[in-house]
């Protein structure tokens, strides 16, 4: 069961001098990120345990134009029971109450998902503010947040205006995220930076810092709709900004890589990065989420292989 256990990020006054002083050495970041998949591996029962952990950190997502009430309801059933009972029994994990971290949908399907997840403790996250481009009129974006919160969403994944980052208008970005944060009320705000469209790692780092100062509870890489989505170098840069923000303010902000993470092995690389850069506390669902749709299927296949010694076809894993 996923629960928010941390105090909200109250935000800080915008410190433009601090923002403009941020610099990222791309070569160094890429070299460090390249060591993550090679530094250590987990095998056998330890790998199975890490994969079960990854499931609990997953925002199970459907963001397709052909979504229907039926497939959203099926997705929520999968969120409640993400791994087949016989596999959990073979792993000795049937008593752990494994569920995903959240279900993420468009506003249109928030009420459907809330009804389907009633009593499970699994929150519904709504993508908002003109997702994925974020170019709707400002008042429309605010109204969308209010509507999703009223419909029962407990988390709101907003998209920033990329032009604010690309032109260095940090005050405009700060004011925008502050307004979105206020509109969220008690719902947690996850700020999507669309890092594949921000041109440089320095821009990614600066945008991360501004979003956190504006009160974002999570910072998130991507909408999943960009040409380049989550990568390890970007994740390294964002994790280090989270660490510096925690050291400066005492506030722990969450991280969500999203888009393109479809296989178990890369997912483990992200968990290792978080453990090494931020510590084990960031391996809990109130501080880390995968934005994923296809990832769960591959994790199930890996768990079944661990139990039976055979890889099952993907269609054996019950997904919508």
At 158 the three-state DSSP class reads strand
Residue 16 resides in a domain: no
Lowest mean pLDDT among 8-12, 162-166, 296-300, 309-313: 309-313
pLDDT in tens, 54-106: 999 999 999 999 999 999 999 999 999 999 999 999 999 999 999 999 999 99
The residues carrying an active-site annotation are 157, 220, 256
Tokens of residue 242, six digits: 């989270």
Lowest mean pLDDT among 22-36, 41-55, 132-146, 168-182: 41-55
pLDDT band at 310 (very low <50, low <70, confident <90, very high): confident
Tokens of residue 316, six digits: 């054996």
Residue 63 sits in a domain whose CATH number is 3.20.20.70
Domain residue limits at 285: 27-308
Residue 317 resides in a domain: no
Residue 105 resides in a domain: yes
Helical spans, DSSP H, in the chain: 16-20, 26-39, 44-56, 69-80, 85-91, 110-116, 138-150, 162-166, 170-184, 201-213, 232-249, 264-277, 295-308
Residue 56 resides in a domain: yes
pTM of the model: 0.94
- What is the residue-averaged pLDDT of the chain? 94
Residue 8 resides in a domain: no
What is the number of domains present in the chain?
1
* pLDDT given for residue 44 in this prediction: 87
CA R_g for the chain: 19
DSSP string covering 74-107, please? HHHHHHHS-S-HHHHHHHT-TTS----SEEEEEG
- The pairing of strands 58-61 and 254-256 is unpaired
Residue 228 resides in a domain: yes
Rounded to 5 degrees, φ, ψ at 59 are -90, 95
* pLDDT given for residue 43 in this prediction: 83
Rounded to 5 degrees, φ, ψ at 104 are -115, 125
Residue 289 has pLDDT above 80, yes or no: yes
Residue 201 has pLDDT above 70, yes or no: yes
Residue 50 resides in a domain: yes
pLDDT band at 320 (very low <50, low <70, confident <90, very high): very low
Burial track 90-116 (b if 16+ CB lie within 10 A, e otherwise): bbebeeeebbbbbbbbbbebbbbbbeb
Residue 259 resides in a domain: yes
Rounded to 5 degrees, φ, ψ at 198 are -100, 0
* pLDDT given for residue 87 in this prediction: 94
Mean predicted confidence (pLDDT) in 245-264: 96
């Amino acid at each position: 069961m996923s629960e928010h256990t941390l105090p909200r990020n109250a935000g800080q006054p915008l410190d433009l001098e601090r923002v403009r002083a941020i610099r990222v050495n791309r070569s160094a970041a890429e070299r460090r990120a390249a060591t993550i998949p090679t530094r250590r591996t987990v095998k056998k029962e330890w790998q199975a345990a890490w994969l079960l952990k990854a499931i609990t950190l997953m925002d199970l997502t459907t963001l397709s134009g052909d979504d229907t009430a039926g497939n959203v309801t099926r997705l929520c059933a999968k969120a409640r029971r993400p791994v087949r009972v016989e596999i959990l029994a073979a792993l000795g994990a049937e008593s752990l109450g494994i569920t995903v971290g959240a279900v993420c949908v468009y506003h249109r399907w928030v009420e459907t998902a809330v009804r389907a997840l009633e009593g499970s403790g699994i929150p519904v996250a709504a993508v908002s503010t003109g997702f994925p481009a974020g170019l709707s009129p400002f008042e429309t974006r605010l109204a969308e947040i209010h509507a999703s919160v009223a419909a029962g969403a407990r988390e709101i994944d907003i998209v920033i205006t990329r032009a604010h980052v690309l032109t260095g208008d940090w005050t405009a970005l700060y004011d925008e995220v502050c307004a979105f944060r206020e509109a969220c009320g008690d719902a947690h705000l996850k700020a999507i930076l669309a890092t594949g469209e921000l041109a440089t790692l320095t821009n990614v780092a600066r945008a991360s810092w501004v979003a956190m100062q504006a009160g974002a509870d999570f910072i998130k890489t991507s909408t999943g709709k960009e040409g380049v989505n989550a990568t390890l170098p970007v994740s390294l840069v964002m994790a280090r900004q989270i660490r510096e923000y925690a050291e400066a303010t005492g506030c722990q902000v969450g991280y969500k890589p999203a888009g393109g993470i479809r296989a178990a092995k890369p997912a483990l690389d992200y968990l290792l990065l978080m453990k090494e850069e931020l510590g084990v506390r960031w391996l809990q669902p109130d501080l880390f989420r995968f934005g994923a749709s296809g990832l769960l299927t591959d994790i199930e296949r890996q768990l079944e292989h661990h139990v039976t010694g055979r890889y099952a076809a993907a269609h054996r894993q019950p997904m919508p």
